[in-house]
């Protein structure tokens, strides 16, 4: 076969992959738009706000703005009476790394009563966080709290799993760091679709925990 044939084959493959990624990305965004809020007074009330975890610190030692903005959003929703409890779901896969505990400390430092904050230590992925909120913590109606791109993916999962959820957008991050995260998000949405098609389950479930 000629070099031209292989070149054209590669170009067609790249076009197919790029188009597929774009279609999935558009599908996720367009299908969840009506469930996402940026205006707190317009939001419906829910018993639980599911705060999706992330690392507090960047590799350079600075505060991760995604983290800080999510904390701010959760505090604002709680103080406005739009949620009564906060379920912090994040990674606790290492002895010295505990996203939920750290986020709870910062929430309490901002005035949220400790007894109103529940911890999900097995929220290793967004899929895990959403399904565990339903199957472990018994909540089928809740408010997701994260950045816009993350909320869209989380809601897409919730919708396909029969969960009634809305989301509140924490402030987004602009600049180079924001661009890198958005690029990774495109690939994360493709993986999410495969997870849904394969009915992938959380790494852990565990005993039922009642909130409230």
Token pair for residue 94? 């290492």
pLDDT-above-90 percentage for the chain: 76
Q: Classify residue 127: in a domain, yes or no.
A: yes
Q: Classify residue 211: in a domain, yes or no.
A: no
pLDDT in tens, 6-53: 777 778 778 888 888 899 999 999 999 999 999 999 999 999 999 999
Cα–Cα nearest to 52, from 86, 96, 24 = 86
pLDDT in tens, 137-188: 999 999 999 999 999 999 999 999 999 999 999 999 987 666 788 888 999 9
Token pair for residue 22? 């774009």
Q: Classify residue 192: in a domain, yes or no.
A: yes
Please determine, for residue 1, whether its predicted confidence score (pLDDT) is greater than 90: no
Q: Classify residue 205: in a domain, yes or no.
A: no
Q: Classify residue 16: in a domain, yes or no.
A: yes
Q: Please list the residues that pair with 141 across neighbouring strands.
A: 164
Q: Classify residue 104: in a domain, yes or no.
A: yes
Domain carrying residue 123: 3-197
Note the helical H segments in the chain.
3-32, 65-79, 99-109, 126-135, 148-160, 175-197
CA separation (Å) from 157 to 1, 52, 58, 103? 44, 14, 27, 23
Q: Report the CATH number at residue 118.
A: 3.40.50
The helix or strand, by DSSP H or E, that contains position 121, with its residue range, turns out to be none
Q: What is the pLDDT of residue 171?
A: 96
Cβ neighbours of residue 212 closer than 8 Å, sequence gap 6 or more: 47, 84, 85
Q: What is the pLDDT of residue 177?
A: 65
Tally of domains within the chain: 1
pTM, two decimals, is 0.91
Q: Classify residue 209: in a domain, yes or no.
A: no
Q: Classify residue 102: in a domain, yes or no.
A: yes
Q: What is the pLDDT of residue 120?
A: 96
């Amino acid at each position: 076969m000629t070099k031209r044939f292989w070149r054209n084959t590669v170009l067609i493959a790249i076009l197919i992959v790029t188009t597929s990624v774009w279609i999935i990305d558009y599908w996720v965004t367009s299908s969840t738009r009506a469930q996402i809020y940026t205006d707190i007074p317009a939001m419906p009330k829910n018993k639980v706000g599911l705060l999706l975890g992330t690392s507090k610190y960047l590799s350079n030692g600075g505060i991760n703005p995604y983290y800080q903005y999510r904390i701010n959003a959760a505090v604002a929703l709680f103080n406005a009476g739009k949620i009564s409890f906060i379920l912090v779901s994040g990674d606790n896969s290492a002895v010295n790394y505990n996203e939920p505990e750290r986020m709870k400390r910062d929430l309490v430092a901002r005035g949220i009563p400790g007894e109103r904050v529940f911890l999900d230590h097995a929220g290793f992925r967004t899929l895990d966080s959403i399904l565990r909120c339903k199957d472990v913590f018994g909540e089928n109606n809740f408010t997701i709290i994260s950045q816009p791109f993350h909320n869209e993916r989380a809601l897409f999962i919730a919708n396909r799993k029969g969960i009634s959820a809305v989301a509140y957008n924490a402030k987004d991050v602009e600049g180079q760091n924001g661009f890198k995260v958005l690029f990774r998000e495109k690939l994360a949405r493709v993986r999410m679709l495969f997870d849904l098609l394969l009915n992938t389950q959380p790494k852990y479930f565990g005993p039922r925990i009642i909130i409230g």
